[in-house]
Chain A
Amino acid sequence: MTSIGTGYDLANSIFSPDGRNFQVEYAVKAVENGGTSIGIRCKDGVVLAVEKIVTSKLLKPGANKRIATVDRHLGVVYSGMIPDGRHFIDRARDEARSWRDTFKTPISTADLASRMGGYMQAYTLYQSVRPFGITAIVGGFDSTEEAPVDGEVGSGPACGAGGKVAGKTHGGPFLYMIEPSGLYWGYYGAATGKGRQAAKAELEKLDLGGPGGPTLTLEQAVKEAARIIYVAHDDSKDKEFELEMTWISGADGPTKGCIGRERLSVGEKALDEDEDEEEGKEEKMEE
């Protein structure tokens, strides 16, 4: 690399003459070495999945979960440096909590993405810190129903409020991906980590961004997500891995507006040998 030895890659807060921040670019490299993470926004929910590389036979299968719950309706998965991801999640939980404290209502997926995008960007500015070595995928379902203010006394009047704008829908499934630079966009389908190229190619084949919204159902998306993690896995690099995934639906769906509390986690062998695995998954959706 031409940047080596020039000194411009030694610290954040110093641009190279051609306008790059090398520390951020190195952080992206750290992400590119991590296990694949994907997110799918479908008609009635969001699915998050990650390829969890098994680094030692002494690690208990199914333990050490990688997908985290940030609030009742929000989940995060990430690729890259796991301790950085843990800190990211701690902060996301604080943000979700403080939003509830001030506004007495759950934070929207978009607002959380905005807060966390801002947080990660701050780590590209100062000498004393390094950027996050992760790219995070934030998935959530913002309530489509009318929810009371947290802590409101009583259930309020039985009659509805007058003057609502008819035909307007609110809330729904949302998906965002935040990069080490702090850049974040909303996505129909997102992939990061080692197998992102293959995963993105698979995601693009799904019907996620049609004019009438995605047609893919949550159930189909769960199967697709599992399949994509397998497609994206490179056997020649890492032999052992676990598939970890979770999903979230609206209030009328299987998870009742909350992120799945259980994390479906299966080892490679389990999925290869057991043809009935797909049915097993559907049962789990009734949690």
Chain B
Amino acid sequence: MDRLKKGEVNMAVTFKDGVILGADSRTTTGAYIANRVTDKLTQVHDTIWCCRSGSAADTQAVADIVKYQLELFAMMNGKPPTTQTAGAIFQEICYSNKDRLSAGLIIAGWDERHGGQVYSIPLGGSLHKQPYSIGGSGSTYIYGYCDANWREGMEEAEAVSFVKEALKEAIKWDGSSGGVIRMVVLTAKGADRHLYLPDTDYKVRHQ
């Protein structure tokens, strides 16, 4: 049976003031688009978010557990968790249940001590710290684009446009990526959501 699959393309990128997460919005069951406006960017703490790809059910369940753990951590320790803490908890769950999960995650967050950080947790449950990370089936089409265009210490506007152009490229070539482009910008100021629609060729920021 075909289960709900998603995360056909998503990415997270560090820039000068923090980190940006971006994703398309397509959820499929086989060839059928079950949801064309999915939100794959999930908040697990104030300025720690994740991009979910793989099984919708698995990644939602894992994100829910981590969200609970991080809330508990913040209350018990009187300080917000770091992106590293979130990455560690995500990894433990993904690694110890590797036989039963189909989850590819990118964790991105901003904290006072480390600034913006990106961690990726691919299928086996390993943890990788990266300057930027791309994931999902659509990501295979944009390895070259990202390698050629990513730069260290971009301004926010540059980084937003980098993410958008990369996702547009993935959506263009990958059949299982599509719909709207969603982004979250995480900085010292908090979390800021972006939405771009295909009918204006993703030019206008909505909301």
What string of 1s and 0s marks CB contacts (under 8 Å) between A103-114 and chain B?
111000001000
B49 at the A/B interface (Cβ < 8 Å)?
no
- B89, B113, B153: the one contacting A159 at CB < 8 Å is B153
Tell me if A's interface is mostly helix, strand, loop or mixed: loop
Bound complex: CA A152 to CA B126 (Å): 7
Q: Given A103-B89, A149-B84, A170-B113, is A163 in contact with B129 using a C-beta cutoff of 8 Å? A: no
Bound complex: CA A87 to CA B42 (Å): 43
B114 at the A/B interface (Cβ < 8 Å)?
yes
Inter-chain contacts of B188 with A (CB < 8 A): 163, 165
- CB-based contact B127/A151 at 8 Å: yes
- CB-based contact B129/A152 at 8 Å: yes
Bound complex: CA A64 to CA B77 (Å): 36
- CB-based contact A105/B17 at 8 Å: no
Tell me if B's interface is mostly helix, strand, loop or mixed: mixed
Bound complex: CA A150 to CA B85 (Å): 10
- CB-based contact A162/B129 at 8 Å: no
* Residue total for A at the interface (Cβ-Cβ under 8 A): 26
Bound complex: CA A211 to CA B84 (Å): 32
Q: Given A156-B129, A157-B129, is A162 in contact with B88 using a C-beta cutoff of 8 Å? A: no
Inter-chain contacts of B16 with A (CB < 8 A): 162-163
CB distance from A161 to the nearest CB of B (A): 4
Q: Given A111-B77, A152-B129, A163-B17, is A103 in contact with B114 using a C-beta cutoff of 8 Å? A: no
- CB-based contact A157/B130 at 8 Å: yes
CB distance from B58 to the nearest CB of A (A): 21
Q: Given A102-B88, A111-B77, is A162 in contact with B19 using a C-beta cutoff of 8 Å? A: yes
- CB-based contact B126/A162 at 8 Å: no
- CB-based contact A162/B115 at 8 Å: yes
- CB-based contact A163/B110 at 8 Å: yes
- Interface contacts (Cβ under 8 Å), in number, total 91
A5 at the A/B interface (Cβ < 8 Å)?
no
- CB-based contact A105/B84 at 8 Å: yes
- CB-based contact B116/A163 at 8 Å: yes
- CB-based contact B152/A152 at 8 Å: no
Q: Given A111-B77, A154-B128, A156-B129, is A163 in contact with B88 using a C-beta cutoff of 8 Å? A: no
A272 at the A/B interface (Cβ < 8 Å)?
no
- CB-based contact A161/B115 at 8 Å: yes
Inter-chain contacts of A164 with B (CB < 8 A): 112-115
CB distance from A13 to the nearest CB of B (A): 26
- CB-based contact B88/A103 at 8 Å: yes
Bound complex: CA A149 to CA B95 (Å): 15
- CB-based contact B18/A153 at 8 Å: no
CB distance from A214 to the nearest CB of B (A): 23
What string of 1s and 0s marks CB contacts (under 8 Å) between B127-165 and chain A?
111110000000000000000000011000000000000
Inter-chain contacts of B176 with A (CB < 8 A): none
Chain B residues 71-123 with CB under 8 Å of chain A are 73, 77, 84-85, 87-89, 91-92, 110, 112-117, 119
Q: Given A105-B85, A105-B88, A163-B187, is A152 in contact with B127 using a C-beta cutoff of 8 Å? A: yes
B196 at the A/B interface (Cβ < 8 Å)?
no
Bound complex: CA A148 to CA B91 (Å): 14
- B17, B112, B127, B130: the one contacting A162 at CB < 8 Å is B17
What string of 1s and 0s marks CB contacts (under 8 Å) between A123-165 and chain B?
0000000000000000000000010111111111101111111
- CB-based contact B126/A153 at 8 Å: yes
- CB-based contact A168/B112 at 8 Å: yes
Inter-chain contacts of A111 with B (CB < 8 A): 77
Known: A153-B127, A159-B153, A164-B113. 16 other contacts (CB 8 A): A103-B89, A104-B84, A104-B87, A105-B85, A105-B88, A149-B87, A152-B87, A152-B129, A159-B14, A159-B131, A162-B14, A162-B16, A162-B18, A162-B116, A163-B115, A163-B187
30 contacts between A and B (CB under 8 A): A102-B89, A103-B73, A103-B85, A103-B89, A104-B87, A105-B84, A105-B85, A149-B84, A149-B88, A151-B127, A153-B126, A153-B128, A155-B129, A156-B129, A157-B131, A161-B14, A161-B114, A161-B115, A161-B116, A161-B117, A162-B14, A162-B17, A162-B115, A163-B115, A163-B188, A164-B113, A165-B112, A165-B115, A165-B188, A168-B112
